[in-house]
Structure 1
Amino acid sequence: MPTHSPVRPKRRKRSAHEARDEGLAAARDLLLAGGPAAVTLANVGKAIGMSHTNVIHHFGSAAGLQTALMESMIRDLADALGDAVSQLHTDAAAPAALVDRVFDAFGEGGAGQLAAWLVLAREFDHLEAVRQAVLDLVAAVKARAPELPDQDSRIRAIVLLIAICAFGDAVIGPHLRDMLGQDEEAARRLVAQILPLLIVPPAS
């Protein structure tokens, strides 16, 4: 039987802004599906129907593409943490909502894969862009729990717990859950159950 080559997206005219946005969206999909090694100029070009030369024109090099992707995903992570901060100020169900926001950012948003990539590549400077969002999150949790004993160190530990659990779940969670016969919500459900116990001050 004859074999058929995969259908590639038809090449079309697009603005420079559209081309970069489509390239970054494709690069994010490649990262989530195949890891950092899959984020190449050639793969992005195939995904969006653009020649290798045009991809180079918009990103300069493979390193330029990867840097642009990192910056885009870090902005998205900071925005997701900002949404979590806003929700903490207005939502009575904030603890569970906060866990969902952070887990979604690291999992579906790809921040877990991105963070692993940055750390393994020793690109620690890129993580500075997230610093203020994390500090804002600490401040927002403080505002929700003004009576919490030893407030500052305890709240920083709470944020650390959520972030590390979300990161681990995004990177290796699917494999561990499969080994343990757990559903895909297991880790976030566990953190959401623990969080109120850490936030609510003990009865005197």
Structure 2
Amino acid sequence: MSASTDEKTAPAPAPEGETKAAPRTRRVRRTGEEARRLILDAAEQRLASSGPEGIRLQDIAKDVGISHPAILHHFQSREGLVGALVERTMTHLRDALLGVITRGQSGALDTDAMMDEVFATLSDRGHARLLAWLTLTGRVEPESGLTDSDDEKSKAEGSRGRQMLGELTDLVHEAAARQARDAGKIEPSKEDTRFFILLAAMSAFGEAIVGRQMYEAAGLGGDPEAAAKFRTRLKALLHPVK
């Protein structure tokens, strides 16, 4: 990818003994790929701290040290930035879960580690809130992805979530079945595996959106370990192989 014109400026210090003149600037050039990564990192931090409404281009530009038009150069619009953030999240979650599954091929399938990744991505980093906001405001359609574009790429990205869920279901089921056979136990059904994944994902979504209110309603509002306790109990309930 060609070099980007994104620049971050910083004042250069005046030589000792001389009158301080107007500050000079030092230009920092970044590649387009590096600039996109920094912008997405800043957007994710805003999402985690302030929710979807915190993804404001002017604030993100200030965080990164670039201009507002520079973000538009890379993502065309706020919707484009949000779409790229969702895409990166799905890729990260898929790669992390596949890594857990691959490590389990030489031993027991670590479903606890899988659930930790799901909760970290969807709940802790705020992505469940973002996806819920996109869905409830009509920015995401089940069959076509982000609705601000109807090109083939957007349609392909819209179906990626379903493809990822199907792929993970197949891989987890294969690993769980192998683990059951090795232990001399009955293999779980494909439906058991599918609902294990759905229950984990939906629990992470629910905790991200209404977890604090639910903990308070249950009398756990003053317990800083409430979320950790909930996740521990959920893990104990959702192991696909007993």
Matched, 1:130 2:161: yes
Residue 165 of structure 1 deviates from its aligned partner by 0.9
Q: What corresponds to 1:5 in structure 2?
A: none
RMSD: 2.6
Residue 133 of structure 1 deviates from its aligned partner by 2.4
**What is the distance in 1 between the residues matched to 2:107 and 2:235?**
15
Closer/same/farther in 2, CA of residues 89 and 74 from structure 1, 3 Å limit: same
Q: What corresponds to 1:191 in structure 2?
A: 234
**What is the distance in 2 between the residues matched to 1:171 and 1:194?**
21
Letter in structure 1 aligned against 2:163: Q
Residue 12 of structure 1 deviates from its aligned partner by 3.6
Q: What corresponds to 1:164 in structure 2?
A: 202
Closer/same/farther in 2, CA of residues 87 and 121 from structure 1, 3 Å limit: farther
Closer/same/farther in 2, CA of residues 194 and 9 from structure 1, 3 Å limit: farther
Residue 159 of structure 1 deviates from its aligned partner by 1.4
Q: Secondary structure at the match of 2:95?
A: helix
TM-score by length of 1: 0.80
Unaligned segments of structure 1, at least 5 residues: 1-7
Moved over 4 A (4+): 8-11
- More helix as a share of residues: 1
Q: Which of 187, 202, 217 is the matching residue for 1:148?
A: 187
Deviations 1:107-158 (A, max 9, x none): 2344322321332233132552222322222223322136335x12222111
Matched, 1:22 2:38: yes
Q: What corresponds to 1:173 in structure 2?
A: 211
**What is the distance in 1 between the residues matched to 2:212 and 2:104?**
28
**What is the distance in 2 between the residues matched to 1:64 and 1:44?**
14
TM-score by length of 2: 0.68
**What is the distance in 2 between the residues matched to 1:12 and 1:178?**
48
- Cα contact 2:89–2:121 (8 A) shared by 1: no
Unaligned segments of structure 2, at least 5 residues: 1-7, 11-26, 146-156, 181-185
Closer/same/farther in 2, CA of residues 69 and 185 from structure 1, 3 Å limit: same
Closer/same/farther in 2, CA of residues 106 and 159 from structure 1, 3 Å limit: same
Q: Which one has the largest radius of gyration? A: 2
Letter in structure 2 aligned against 1:169: E
Count of residues in Structure 1 that have an aligned counterpart in Structure 2: 191
**What is the distance in 2 between the residues matched to 1:91 and 1:9?**
51
Q: Secondary structure at the match of 2:66?
A: coil
Q: Secondary structure at the match of 2:159?
A: helix
Bigger RCO of structures 1 and 2 (CA < 8 A, at least 6 apart): 1
Deviations 1:159-203 (A, max 9, x none): 11111112212222234334432523122111111123x532xxx
**What is the distance in 1 between the residues matched to 2:129 and 2:82?**
13
- Cα contact 1:9–1:47 (8 A) shared by 2: no
